[in-house]
């Protein structure tokens, strides 16, 4: 029996519920922790934190473990929400889930748990850990290693991912078989901390925007948008300009408040054969220049082969073996060596 003391983040969803159950079955001394990161409602959207906390508490009682609540609202706002708002206002497409893992789950949660006596932390992420390295999950369709590339090797050595060797269908089956109340609970969608609310509705509560022109590839104004910051490169839906071929966002000018679109799928602004990265993070093994790796430029997008042309903090370039559609500044490009996540950086122009 492994009696190491583990604090596991429990969100009230099926994944973290099963992860906690598996740790208990494996003999760990398990304590559940609900991280209260956001509790504000957005007009038209109720924040689900109270319901999620009730579900986490009920599951903890079912499997016979204690549940604590860590209130991280202030730190979350300062480290994640502000990062997201500043990114969008600068015309970028930031990823709050990646920043949450870097700053909250595998830094603040880890440190707070250790202060309260934990030896290890755990989460319901679909990924694997081996010798301080991060690996893809067995279930490719649920693999979350993309969101975890900025976690440190030292944090990974103190973490457990009980679901990394399982498929999602197996996790649901375990929950059903053991009668967990979250067995049929739907997976959360939308912004990581607000639930069903979309980016546009969320941003509208914090930034002032105004309408502006939508300009096509011929320089013609074909419509009006309600704020350039709401749009991202490659976006097709929600433009409000119909008729004929679909339009895709290929650029935006935040200062002039203009959104540029095209119906031409061969428009060079829609495709990238090279990516420049900044704000690099390597988990353990730094990649080698001139070697071919695989990269992922957004969650669940196909892996693309790429050669590392340069490796400097402000001059890191990847040459893609096939063009990538809609690479948006602010998104992350994550570098894989087989199943191992080496790290990555933020895409820049």
Q: Which residues are catalytic?
A: 100, 192
CB 134 within 8 A of CB 145: yes
Q: Cα–Cα distance between 128 and 340 in angstroms, integer?
A: 9
Contacts 24+ apart (CB under 8 A), 209-214: 210/257, 212/256, 212/257, 212/258, 212/259, 213/258, 213/259, 214/239, 214/240, 214/241, 214/247, 214/258, 214/259, 214/260, 214/261
Query: Could you tell me how many residues make up the chain?
Result: 349
Is 183 strand, coil or helix?
coil
What angle do helix axes 49-63 and 14-25 make, rounded to 10 degrees? 20
Is 7 strand, coil or helix?
strand
Q: Cα–Cα distance between 313 and 217 in angstroms, integer?
A: 34
Q: Cα–Cα distance between 136 and 161 in angstroms, integer?
A: 11
* 277 burial type by CB count under 10 A (0-12 exposed, 13-18 middle, 19+ buried): buried
The sign of the torsion formed by the CA atoms of 163, 167, 168, 169 equals negative
Q: Cα–Cα distance between 135 and 157 in angstroms, integer?
A: 13
């Amino acid at each position: 029996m492994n009696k190491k003391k583990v604090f596991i983040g429990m969100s009230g969803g099926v994944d973290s519920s099963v992860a906690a159950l598996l740790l208990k079955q494996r003999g760990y001394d398990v304590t559940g922790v609900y991280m209260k990161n956001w509790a504000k409602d957005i007009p038209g959207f109720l924040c689900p934190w109270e319901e999620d906390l009730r579900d986490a508490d009920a599951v903890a009682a079912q499997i016979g473990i204690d549940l604590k609540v860590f209130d991280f609202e202030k730190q979350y706002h300062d480290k994640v929400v502000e990062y997201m708002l500043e990114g969008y206002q600068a015309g970028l497409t930031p990823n709050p889930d990646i920043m949450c893992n870097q700053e909250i789950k595998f830094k603040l949660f880890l440190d707070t748990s250790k202060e309260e006596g934990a030896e290890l932390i755990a989460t319901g992420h679909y990924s694997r850990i081996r010798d301080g390295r991060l690996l893809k999950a067995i279930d490719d369709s649920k693999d979350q290693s993309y969101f975890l590339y900025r976690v440190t090797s030292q944090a990974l050595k103190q973490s457990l991912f009980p679901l990394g060797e399982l498929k999602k269908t197996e996790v649901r089956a375990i929950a059903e078989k053991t009668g967990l109340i979250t067995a049929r609970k739907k997976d959360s969608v939308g912004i990581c901390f607000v639930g069903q609310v979309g980016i546009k509705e969320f941003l509208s509560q914090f930034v002032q925007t105004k309408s502006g022109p939508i300009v096509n590839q011929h320089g013609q104004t074909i419509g009006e948008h309600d704020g350039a910051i709401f749009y991202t490169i490659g976006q097709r839906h929600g433009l409000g300009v119909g008729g004929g071929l679909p339009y895709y966002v290929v650029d935006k000018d935040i200062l002039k408040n203009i959104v540029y679109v095209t119906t031409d799928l061969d428009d060079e602004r829609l495709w990238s054969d090279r990516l420049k990265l900044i704000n690099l993070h390597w988990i353990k093994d730094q990649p080698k220049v001139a070697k071919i790796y695989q990269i992922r430029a957004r969650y669940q997008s196909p892996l693309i082969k790429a050669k590392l042309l340069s490796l400097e903090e402000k001059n890191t370039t990847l040459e893609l073996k096939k063009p990538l559609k809609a690479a948006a500044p602010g998104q992350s490009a994550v570098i894989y060596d087989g199943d191992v996540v080496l790290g990555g950086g933020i895409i820049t122009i």
